[in-house]
Amino acid sequence: MNKEDLNGKTAVITGGAEGIGLSLARTLGKLGMNIVIADIETEALASAKSSLEDHSIAVLAVDMDVALKEDWDRTAAEAQARFGNVHMLINNAGVSGGVGAIETLDDAGWRWCIDVNLMGVVYGANVFVPHMKSHGEQSWLINVASMAGMGGVPMAGAYTATKAAVVALTESWSQELQGSNVHVSVLAPAFVKTRIHESYRNRQPRYATDVKPTADVFEVAKASSKAVANGIDADLLSARVIEALEQGELYIFTHPNYKPVVDQRSGNVSDAFERSAQSPLLGDVLNDRIWGFKVD
């Protein structure tokens, strides 16, 4: 696609009230897209709406929680009532919760992270992909994961697990939707200057916990706030997203300096395969079928 193709089309961006979501909203709006920002943070949502309108962008703001399926149905209805067909969904809302050692990360923290970072993405696709397929116009599903999803991050098990799941889901959906009108991408940034390290501001009361954060949580939080403060600007990320969409990329990376981390993981996996291929136990499996398809 060319960025001109976006003119007049409609994008729904979750977590669009701040940070990466708001920057993407502004960038896509300036390219002529109608913008729906959907967010749990009511005050930030109102000021994001007026800041986008200052750029003459057509914008609808929807107060919603991505972890609630019924909120997605309402968002879709409101978006279509205002703008008609929706052509792009950016599943961007996310929380950095779920920080801590194996022993200290409690159930409520896990559940919060899974419901927002993973189920939010699942519900979004459930609601909007059938709509995109049925109108048949060129469409995009962009899931925001993280570099954390490309390899394990210590003391951040829940965040890492949900982001790795978003990468895997995107790979699965990209194959499922191949040849359709819906292009699927996963955005996996490293650090970007936003308020992601202050995600607790949006922890819904239903995920409240009595467990007090331990010293290790504070250490991780301190280190990640510093890294976020030194991160790239969200507007640079947004420009990169447009460039990657124009090239039809599945994986959208913004931090080429992290390649060695991913290379190391790929190398470790490849070495482990080599060792399994040398195992006398597995000789017969070598020539067997892969994923149910015969190997040539």
Radius of gyration of the chain, Cα coordinates, nearest whole angstrom = 20
Residue for token digits 């729906």?
36
Residues 7-26 that bind ligand NAD (CB under 6 A): 14-15, 17-21
Closest distance to ligand NAD from the beta carbon of 65 (Å): 4
What would the two tokens of residue 47 be? 């000021």
159 is catalytic: yes
Identify which of residues 181 and 255 has a Cβ nearer to ligand NAD in the complex. 255
Count residues binding ligand NAD (CB under 6 A).
31
Out of 27, 75, 160, 194, the residue judged to bind ligand NAD by CB under 6 A:
194
For residue 59, the 8-state DSSP code is: E
Q: Find residue 186's DSSP bridge partners.
A: 143, 251
Buried b / exposed e across 216-241, counting CB within 10 Å, b at 16+?
A: ebeebbeebeeebeebeebeebbebb
For residue 1, the 8-state DSSP code is: -
Identify which of residues 91 and 139 has a Cβ nearer to ligand NAD in the complex. 91
The secondary structure element, H or E, covering residue 158 is helix 157-176
- CB 246, CB 1: distance < 8 Å: yes
| Cα angle value 220/222/224 (rounded, 5°) | 65
- Does 95 engage in binding with ligand NAD (CB under 6 A)? yes
Out of 40, 86, 186, 244, the residue judged to bind ligand NAD by CB under 6 A:
40
Residues 133-192 that bind ligand NAD (CB under 6 A): 144, 146, 189, 191-192
Catalytic residue among 123, 159, 200, 207: 159
CA distance 235 to 239: 6
Identify which of residues 177 and 187 has a Cβ nearer to ligand NAD in the complex. 187
Residues 265-294 that bind ligand NAD (CB under 6 A): none
Per CB under 6 A, the segment of 61-69, 79-87, 100-108, 207-215 that binds ligand NAD is 61-69
Which chain residues interact with ligand NAD by CB under 6 A? 14-15, 17-21, 39-41, 44, 65-67, 92-95, 116, 144, 146, 189, 191-192, 194-196, 199, 202, 228, 231
